[in-house]
Structure 1
Amino acid sequence: MKRSLGFVFGGLLVALLLAGVVSNFASSHPDGLDSSLREGCTFDADDEITGGSCPAQEEKEHEIGGPLADYGISGLDNDILSTGLSGVLGVLLTFAVAGGTFWLVRRRGPEPAPEHVAGSPGAGRTDPATTDPTATNKA
């Protein structure tokens, strides 16, 4: 149990370091989905669509937004800190949800048999066939 617990917390530490530090060095270029949606359009120096025809022209801001939208924390002006903290919060939230789910569905061992309570019928009695090694069953 200790060994697997160390493995889980070691993995959590690596994930936190990757999300908090390495995420700031990720490419700012569009990924595969964004690139395919932008095919057929022309862009200016600010990466704004200026012409052509592509599905990206229909793009709009998400209506709900949220505190961790756009890979950052809203209201935090430092981009590096914002990206790192949003990654760390994402990892911690994911770890909490996954850990809680695994805890809920974990296998539990069989329930222990109830012990005889003093004063109950049969308390203090022993079966000679189970306690005496020389006893034989002559049924």
Structure 2
Amino acid sequence: MKKTTWFILGGLLVALLLAGVVSNFASGSPDGLDSASTKGCTLDENDEITGGSCMAQNAKDAETADSPFADYGISGIGNSYVSTGLAGVAGVLLTFAVGGGLFWLARRRQPAESRE
């Protein structure tokens, strides 16, 4: 195998390990937009709005909220660690497949007469 192939496979392996294992240790705290949108509201222990006035009161679920990969997991899998890890692995593989396919389509091809 060429060095380039080993490099790509090594990078894919690292990405799969990060997505499948390390993703479970990501922060559960809301990101900046979520945090800023709840300023002015009071929240209960489940982060549900119980009073006040804030931008998040008008928020609605996304149209894809019931899709198989919603909320950084795979629906139907009871274990949240396995669900999150598998969703990360599926995302890496899908991204790798799409990116690899685009590179394959865009690669320079040799003219027919130079291949002989």
- Common fold by TM > 0.5: yes
Displacement of 1:109 after TM fit?
2.4
Residue type at the aligned position of 1:80: Y
Q: TM-score, normalised by structure 2?
A: 0.90
* Unmatched runs of 5 consecutive residues or more in structure 1: 116-139
Q: Does 1:11 align with 2:7?
A: no
Give the structure 2 partner of residue 96 of structure 1.
97
1:54-99 deviations in Å (ceiling 9; x for gaps): 1111122222331111001001111010000000000000100010
Please give the secondary structure, in 2, of the residue aligned with 1:29: coil
Give the structure 2 partner of residue 33 of structure 1.
33
Q: Which moved more, 1:59-68 or 1:40-49?
A: 59-68
Give the structure 2 partner of residue 137 of structure 1.
none
After superposition, the CA RMSD in angstroms is 1.7
Displacement of 1:112 after TM fit?
2.2
Residue type at the aligned position of 2:82: L
User: RCO higher in 1 or 2 (8 Å CA, sep ≥ 6)?
Assistant: 2
Q: Structure 1 or 2: larger helix share? A: 2
Give the structure 2 partner of residue 76 of structure 1.
77
Q: TM-score, normalised by structure 1?
A: 0.76
Q: Does 1:67 align with 2:68?
A: yes
Residue type at the aligned position of 1:60: K
Rate the CA distance shift 1:10–1:114 in 2: closer, same or farther, 3 A: closer
Q: Following the alignment from structure 2 to structure 1, what is the Cα–Cα distance between the partners of residues 105 and 68?
A: 28
Q: Following the alignment from structure 1 to structure 2, what is the Cα–Cα distance between the partners of residues 87 and 8?
A: 18
Give the structure 2 partner of residue 132 of structure 1.
none
Please give the secondary structure, in 1, of the residue aligned with 2:100: helix
Residue type at the aligned position of 2:32: G
Rate the CA distance shift 1:87–1:106 in 2: closer, same or farther, 3 A: same
Q: Following the alignment from structure 1 to structure 2, what is the Cα–Cα distance between the partners of residues 58 and 5?
A: 50
